[in-house]
Amino acid sequence: MANQALHVLHVEDDFADAMLVQQAVCEAGDFDISFEVVRTLREAKLRMQAGGFDLILLDLRLPDSVHPTETLEVARSSAGATPLLVLSGSMAVDREHLGEEIASLDKNASFKVERGRKSVNIAQVIRNAVATEDFLSI
């Protein structure tokens, strides 16, 4: 995978959040990655079923999803063997809807600046999600 570009489906209804993730990954600058961003669960389901992604970054709260559990269930059934990484701005609330096998990051903590650096290197988390077979495969 080191010589191949990673293709990531980012399911995120907030344009600014999607751009923050892309900026953080670009700033890391040490691997080739392309993002496809969709804003609804319906769009995500269609793209996941079409396949071709190395990772799916998933926000649980989307305009056409009634509940985070519904979002996760649809993603699980549509993603096939593609790893899922939940990236939510309300992780304190959403954590109760996730099983222990679900990898997740709190968007708020991920982009909080502490002494001039990001507290979580999202680029490294993405790299690990794709490289480590047991990280998350649903």
User: Which of the four pLDDT bands, split at 50, 70 and 90, describes residue 32?
Assistant: confident
The pLDDT mean for the chain works out to 75
In contact, 123 and 24? CB cutoff 8 Å: yes
* Cα separation, 112 vs 56, whole angstroms: 22
The lowest-confidence range among 6-15, 21-30, 32-41 is 21-30
* Cα separation, 134 vs 138, whole angstroms: 10
Over residues 35-44, mean pLDDT: 97
The answer on pLDDT for 10 being more than 70 is: yes
Amino acid type, 17:
D
Over residues 24-50, mean pLDDT: 90
User: Which of the four pLDDT bands, split at 50, 70 and 90, describes residue 35?
Assistant: very high
Classify residue 1 as exposed, middle or buried by CB count within 10 Å of its CB (0-12, 13-18, 19+): exposed
pLDDT at 26: 81
pLDDT at 39: 97
Q: Which residues contact 109 (CB under 8 A, 6 or more apart)?
A: 91, 119, 120
Q: Is 51 left (phi over 0), alpha (psi -120 to 50) or beta?
A: left
Angle between helices 122-131 and 15-28 (to 10 degrees): 80
* Fold that domain 6-131 belongs to in CATH: Rossmann fold (3.40.50)
* Cα separation, 15 vs 13, whole angstroms: 6
Query: pLDDT digits over 85-135, tens only?
Result: 888 766 555 556 555 545 554 444 444 333 344 435 677 777 777 776 544
In contact, 82 and 116? CB cutoff 8 Å: no
**pTM of the entire predicted model:** 0.74
Over residues 23-38, mean pLDDT: 84
